[in-house]
Amino acid sequence: MVYHAASDRYDAIPYRRSGRSGLLLPRISLGLWNNFGDDRELSVQRDIVLRAFDRGVTHIDLANNYGPPPGSAEQNFGKILASDLRPYRDELIISSKAGFDMWAGPYGEWGSRKYLLASLDQSLSRMGLDYVDIFYSHRFDPDTPLEETMGALAHAVQSGKALYVGISNYDEEQTRRAYAILKDMGVTLLIHQPRYNLFDRRPEAGLFDALVELGVGGIVYSPLAQGLATDRYLNGIPNDSRVRTANWIDENRINDDYLAHARALNDIAQGRGQTLAQMALTWTMRHPGVTSALIGASSVAQLDDSLKAAHAEPLSDEELEAIEPHAIDQLVGLWS
Ligand SMILES: NC(=O)c1ccc[n+]([C@@H]2O[C@H](COP(=O)([O-])OP(=O)(O)OC[C@H]3O[C@@H](n4cnc5c(N)ncnc54)[C@H](OP(=O)(O)O)[C@@H]3O)[C@@H](O)[C@H]2O)c1
């Protein structure tokens, strides 16, 4: 069936400027790291992506290695673009990244110019695109001069293969250096993609302040802590959950300590008429350093549930105080 985007899609979600750029991003964006590989039905993937766009989610985030297998999420998204979203290309912000292990040999990961530019070409080819809107260095490479990595990003812009560039998983000092090097090359750092959620609060220690000061946007990934900042595990571990179906979080995370805090947070969320997922997003988006919360979803129902957070009342001081004892950085040693 021919897809026609919902005519009221731009009333469905607020947008915020990415730093001091001209680019507006939806307050909630959709990432295809999990649930969009060859292990998932393409029809479900299509339903989620199209539903997101119908709800005004103009930004879809990818990376070279998303799958499984690596590359398949870009390929599958390319199929959805070709079948449904091609007429809407100019309404979409599509990002990709390179940095993690993608192909064999010394040129298949990290931050060399050789790897980044070859990977960008591969991503464009998998998605069937002439350009991505945002191209990221996915992680800081301690062994490659940052000038080389940033030079590759600048080249991606100058060659027309990316409109903007970003960095991900860089700490505050690395971010300041990357920003300055790009600026010298005449390219503005559009955005940073760090992990931030109720159980990983590291960006509060200085990174967010740096982003606000530099005028760089912040799009925070895993704002639902991969499902742990939701009610997904409060009554046992579902067989279709990420804990069971992926390698990223194992069942040891679902221990008594975690459950006590998650249940307390769930009670606070219910007290304000939200699901825990919605409150987790409302909490994440409260920070001035956060332009957009970058969620994942394994179903349209989850997506719909999460997107309601875009219109939620801000948390009151009393609610923030009640949340604070349970918003524990590195809870259950979740993050390295
Ligand atoms: N730059 C980086 O290094 C990096 C790293 C990781 C992620 N990312 C980006 O961030 C995106 C999001 O990451 P993420 O998938 O970890 O995000 P997340 O939003 O923290 O977790 C998504 C998972 O939470 C569960 N969920 C989602 N909505 C729910 C709801 N309303 N109620 C209950 N459970 C819900 C689902 O788990 P089930 O699958 O169990 O249903 C879903 O797969 C990625 O796709 C990627 O684009 C970037």
> Which atom of ligand 1 lies at the shortest distance from residue 33's CA?
45
Percent of the chain with pLDDT over 90: 95
Max distance between CA atoms of the chain, in angstroms, equals: 54
Residue nearest to ligand 1 atom 11, measured at CA = 31
Pocket test for ligand 1, best of 274, 295, 335 (most atoms within 8 A of CB): 295
pLDDT, one tens digit per residue, over 102-150 is 999 999 999 999 999 999 999 999 999 999 999 999 999 999 999 999 9
pLDDT, one tens digit per residue, over 80-105 is 999 999 999 999 999 999 999 999 99
Q: Which helix (H) or strand (E) holds 137?
A: strand 132-137
pLDDT band at 303 (very low <50, low <70, confident <90, very high): very high
Mention every residue, 6+ apart, whose C-beta is less than 8 A from residue 160: 130, 131
Res 334 pLDDT > 80: no
pLDDT, one tens digit per residue, over 230-274 is 999 999 999 999 999 987 888 988 999 999 999 999 999 999 999
Q: What is the pLDDT of residue 333?
A: 66
Q: What are phi and psi of 26, to 5 degrees?
A: -65, 150
Residue nearest to ligand 1 atom 31, measured at CA = 302
How many angstroms does the Cα of residue 31 sit away from the middle of ligand 1?
A: 7
CB atoms within 10 A of CB 187: 21
How many angstroms does the Cα of residue 197 sit away from the middle of ligand 1?
A: 11
Residue nearest to ligand 1 atom 30, measured at CA = 302
* Intra-chain end-to-end CA distance of the chain, in Å: 45
Q: Please tell me the distance from the alpha carbon of residue 108 to that of residue 262, in angstroms, as a whole number.
A: 39
Res 72 pLDDT > 80: yes
pTM assigned to the model: 0.98
pLDDT, one tens digit per residue, over 215-242 is 999 999 999 999 999 999 999 999 999 9
Say if CB 123 and CB 94 are below 8 A apart: no
How many angstroms does the Cα of residue 224 sit away from the middle of ligand 1?
A: 6
Q: Which residues approach ligand 1 with their CB closer than 6 A?
A: 31-35, 61, 138, 168-169, 193, 221-227, 230, 232, 241-242, 277, 294-298, 302, 305-306
Whole-number CA gyration radius for the chain: 19
Full DSSP string of 147-183: HHHHHHHHHHHHTTSEEEEEEES--HHHHHHHHHHHH
